[in-house]
């Protein structure tokens, strides 16, 4: 099972903090560093020193790391025009030597749009679907040819579809709990399907819906990666678990019920049950205390080392 580090910088993190986490991610042997795409804090966090932009961050990290994959859970479709976003992602992929993975979502947090003057459209999902068609179409258009698209929300005319990513195909990640439209779009566009913060039973049910949609679309469902994002709070003993839970303002029992919390043995066992029950093969560990690099080291040493 792949373990990836997933950060929520809108809760409060500078670029320097994210760089330290990314370098630890690489040094400790994790597969990838991912971050959210939000401009406003949530809950009681102070959010200081203020938001950092997802693709600006990843551009910097692309030049300061060498091995780890870099990506978003999830880039918000409401924040950027699809043509501009295609350029940004392709450029960061080139800057990283082909290490970008593109998690993409329709957008949902209306307050951050209001706060920063970003339009919050009514037809988010329809726009999202058009953006997926445009982004993948631009990246796939051969050099020397042009890309055209006419939709309800976006139109592109004689676009040179440049620059190209370093990778022949940027992996696309789609996620969510929608029962119909989300599996359909996953079947058409995605290389990975992600279930955020869900039980193994709910994950199993959604993974099955996605598999059925992928099969109906004429693809092999085993081509996709099926992943979960889960909060992590691991300690060598009960006191360390409690300290880490307290640092992020959460209760231990709630974290054990809804995430990956407890001793390394408890977490290894729960990851095994996600793999067996849901078919999970990749987990994004949501790390909320980004100053606690010992947490990453502990998980790498005593959890990741035990996973096949």
Q: What does the H/E/C string look like for the chain? A: CEEEEEECHHHCCCHHHHHHHHHHHHHCCCCEEEECCCCCCCCCCCCCCCCCCHHHHHHHHHHHCCCCEEEECCEECCCCCHHHHHHHHHHHHHHCCCCEEEEEECCCCHHHHHHHCCCCCCCHHHHHHHHHHHHHHHHHCCCCCCEEEECCCCEEEEECCCCCCCCCCCCEEEECCCCCHHHHHHHHHCCEEEEECCCHHHHHHHHHHHHHHHHHCCCCHHHCEEEEEEEEEECCCHHHHHHHHHHCCCCHHHHHHHCEEECHHHHHHHHHHHHHHHCCCEEEEEECCCCCHHHHHHHHHHCHHHCC
The per-residue pLDDT for 59 is 98
The per-residue pLDDT for 225 is 98
The per-residue pLDDT for 53 is 98
- Residue 260 — left, alpha, or beta (φ > 0 → left; ψ -120 to 50 → alpha)? beta
The per-residue pLDDT for 22 is 98
In degrees and rounded to multiples of 5, residue 172 shows phi and psi of: -105, 130
Give the integer Cα–Cα distance in Å for 119 and 27.
Answer: 40
Please answer whether residues 275 and 219 qualify as being in contact, where contact means their C-beta atoms are separated by less than 8 angstroms: no
Number of neighbours of residue 56 by Cβ within 10 angstroms: 12
Please state whether beta strands 155-159 and 147-150 pair in parallel, antiparallel, or not at all (unpaired).
antiparallel
Give the integer Cα–Cα distance in Å for 113 and 111.
Answer: 5
The per-residue pLDDT for 195 is 98
The per-residue pLDDT for 85 is 98
Run means of pLDDT, 10 residues per run, the chain, 308 residues:
97 98 98 98 95 98 98 98 98 98 97 97 95 98 98 98 98 96 98 98 98 98 98 98 97 97 98 98 98 98 92
First to last CA, the chain: 6
The per-residue pLDDT for 13 is 97
The per-residue pLDDT for 21 is 98
Taking each helix axis from N to C terminus, what angle separates 181-189 and 200-216, rounded to the nearest 10 degrees?
60
Written as six digits, the tokens of 215 are 């099969």
| Nearest Cα to Cα of residue 152 among 181, 138, 131 | 131
The per-residue pLDDT for 65 is 98
The per-residue pLDDT for 204 is 98
């Amino acid at each position: 099972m792949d373990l990836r580090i997933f950060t929520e910088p809108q809760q409060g993190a500078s670029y320097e903090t994210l760089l330290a986490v990314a370098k630890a991610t690489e040094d400790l042997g994790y597969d990838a560093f991912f971050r959210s795409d939000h401009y406003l804090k949530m809950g009681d966090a102070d959010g200081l020193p203020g938001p950092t932009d997802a693709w600006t961050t990843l551009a910097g990290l692309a030049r300061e790391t060498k091995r780890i994959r870099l990506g978003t859970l999830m880039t918000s479709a409401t924040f950027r025009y699809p043509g501009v976003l295609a350029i940004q992602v392709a450029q960061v992929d080139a800057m990283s030597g082909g290490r970008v993975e593109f998690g993409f979502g329709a957008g949902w947090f209306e307050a951050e749009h209001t706060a920063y003057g970003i339009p919050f459209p009514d037809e988010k999902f329809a726009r999202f679907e058009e953006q997926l068609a445009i982004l993948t179409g631009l990246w796939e258009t051969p050099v020397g040819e042009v890309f055209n698209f006419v939709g309800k929300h976006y139109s592109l005319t004689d676009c040179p579809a440049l620059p190209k990513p370093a990778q022949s195909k940027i992996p696309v990640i789609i996620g969510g709990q929608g029962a119909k439209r989300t599996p359909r779009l996953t079947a058409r566009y995605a290389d990975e399907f992600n279930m955020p913060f869900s039980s193994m039973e709910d994950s199993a049910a959604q993974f099955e819906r996605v598999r059925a949609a992928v099969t109906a679309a004429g693809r092999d469902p085993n081509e996709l990666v099926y992943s979960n994002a889960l909060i992590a709070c691991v300690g060598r003993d009960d006191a360390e678990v409690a300290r880490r839970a307290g640092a992020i303002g959460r209760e231990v029992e709630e974290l054990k019920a809804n995430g990956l919390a407890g001793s390394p043995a408890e977490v290894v066992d729960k990851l095994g049950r996600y793999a067996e029950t849901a078919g999970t093969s990749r987990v994004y560990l949501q790390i909320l205390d980004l100053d606690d690099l010992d947490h990453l080291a502990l998980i790498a040493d005593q959890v990741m080392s035990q996973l096949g």
